[in-house]
Structure formats: structure tokens, C-alpha cells
């Protein structure tokens, strides 16, 4: 999950986020079988997808490695979906691992102009996380996201998030947000059930920060409208 202009902020607070604007907090588990059936899955490459007029969930599920480029443009988000807050907690203890919130648009633009001389059109689509090695031992975490929607209603809002270590796919998560009414603020919690990693893999992931990467693809009516990227280090505190 990426917030426009955001930076990762580690906190020790145990405050629990609540729903706003009369919206219930929905807890969503990843689909048990996010991969399409074998006869539906066609392995594909980033280069092939960049040539397509539009990209579907089945297309990204055929990718075998993390992408190097974005597969859609910021202006493809015609529904004005804006992620404004994100929190991760350990589901077993309830401990908040970190929480980030989107800065104001004026703060983001001023920072971009100071650094680059102009507003970066790709700002807000990439974030870098740093965790301690203990994060890799967690079994289940909850990721609470708060987002706003523009003037159009949204049907069939779906996220596919694929995590890789180097060339290895670690896990593909698949969540349905459901229907979102126009001009609404929505809150939901995605439940991530992490794969069990070998001790050798954990050691490598800790020793090679930012070799763990992810693509987050967002679809409305099976058409890609947003693509965010992240990378991860697990050597915090060392």
C-alpha cells in the first residue's frame, strides 16, 4: 500500500483505527485460490503487458517476476481513489507495527518542487519499508487502509498484491473491496496470512535489504487503474 508523498513511520502507539463517515470496518481475507485455473493462466512478461490497451487480473497473475515499470498511468485512476491512511498490526497481539498517513497536497507539492524543481508525476506510487527481523516470524497481520472515492460509484474494486524475493514469488494476495459509494471515505482491514519461510531464506532476506519487493495492482471492473510498488528491508535495529 502506498500513500501519495508518504514516508514510512514506525510507531509504538497501540491506538486502534476506527471507521469514519459512517462506514463499517470490514475485515477482508485474501482469496484462498487467487491464481486462475491452470487452463486460464498464461505466463506473460512485463513487456507484453505494456503493449496492451488495458490489463486484467489474469494478466498480472501470469507475471513471474516483479515489474520494473508501472503498468498504468496516474491519470488512469478515473475514480479518484486516494489512500490517506495505512496501519499494520500483529493479529495475535494487536500491537501496531507502524502507521502512516498522507501529508496534505500542498506539503507534497512543495517538497517535490524543492527536490526536483517540478512536481513528480510518479510521486506516491512507491514506498520503502524497513522492519526488524522479527517481522518475518509473524504469521498473520492486519493492514487497515482508509481511502476516499471521487464522484463515480465503484463496482468490483479489487487488489492483487504480489511479493517477491529476488526472482522468487513469495505470496500472491487477492482482496475484494466491494462496492464504494461516490464521495465516500472507506476503511477496511486486509488480513495477510504469511507463508512459512525457511531459516535460510529469512537469513538471506535480512542480509540483503530491499531485494524483497512487491507490486500492488488495483482493478475496477477487471481493468487496471492503479499500480503501486514497494521494497522492504528486514534489518531494522541492527
Which CATH number is 41-103+123-233 given?
2.70.50.40
Q: How far is CA 229 from CA 2, 33, 129, 180, in A?
A: 8, 23, 11, 24
Confidence of residue 28 (pLDDT cuts 50, 70, 90): low
Write down the pLDDT at residue 10.
30
Q: Are strands 223-233 and 126-130 parallel, antiparallel or unpaired?
A: parallel
Cα distances (Å, whole numbers) of residue 233 to 2, 144, 162, 199: 16, 21, 16, 16
Q: Domain boundaries in the chain?
A: 41-103+123-233
- Taken in order 77, 81, 86, 92, is the CA torsion positive or negative? negative
**Threshold 0.85, pTM exceeds:** no
Task: Indicate the helix (H) or strand (E) that contains 158.
Answer: strand 154-165
DSSP code of residue 195: P
pLDDT of residue 8 exceeding 90: no
Amino acid at each position: 500500500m502506498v500513500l501519495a508523498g508518504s514516508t514510512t513511520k514506525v510507531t509504538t502507539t497501540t491506538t486502534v483505527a476506527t471507521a469514519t463517515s459512517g462506514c463499517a470496518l470490514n475485515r477482508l481475507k485474501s482469496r484462498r485460490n487467487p491464481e486462475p485455473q491452470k487452463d486460464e493462466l498464461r505466463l506473460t512478461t512485463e513487456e507484453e503487458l505494456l503493449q496492451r490497451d488495458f490489463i486484467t487480473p489474469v494478466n498480472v497473475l501470469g507475471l513471474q517476476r516483479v515489474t520494473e515499470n508501472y503498468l498504468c498511468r496516474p491519470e488512469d485512476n478515473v475514480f479518484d481513489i486516494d489512500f490517506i491512511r495505512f496501519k499494520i498490526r500483529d493479529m495475535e497481539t494487536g500491537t501496531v507495527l507502524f502507521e502512516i498517513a498522507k501529508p496534505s497536497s500542498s506539503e507534497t507539492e512543495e517538497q517535490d518542487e524543492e527536490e526536483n524543481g517540478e512536481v513528480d508525476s510518479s510521486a506516491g506510487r512507491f514506498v520503502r519499508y524497513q522492519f526488524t527481523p522479527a517481522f518475518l516470524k509473524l504469521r498473520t497481520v492486519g493492514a487497515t487502509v482508509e481511502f476516499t472515492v471521487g464522484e463515480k460509484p465503484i463496482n468490483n474494486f479489487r487488489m492483487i498484491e504480489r511479493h517477491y524475493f529476488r526472482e522468487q514469488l513469495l505470496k500472491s494476495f487477492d482482496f475484494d473491496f466491494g462496492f464504494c459509494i461516490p464521495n465516500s471515505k472507506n476503511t477496511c482491514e486486509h488480513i495477510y496470512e504469511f507463508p512459512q519461510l525457511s531459516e535460510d531464506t529469512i537469513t538471506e532476506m535480512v542480509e540483503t535489504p530491499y531485494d524483497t519487493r512487491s507490486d500492488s495492482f488495483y482493478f475496477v471492473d477487471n481493468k487496471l487503474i492503479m499500480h503501486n510498488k514497494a521494497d522492504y528491508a528486514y534489518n531494522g535495529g541492527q
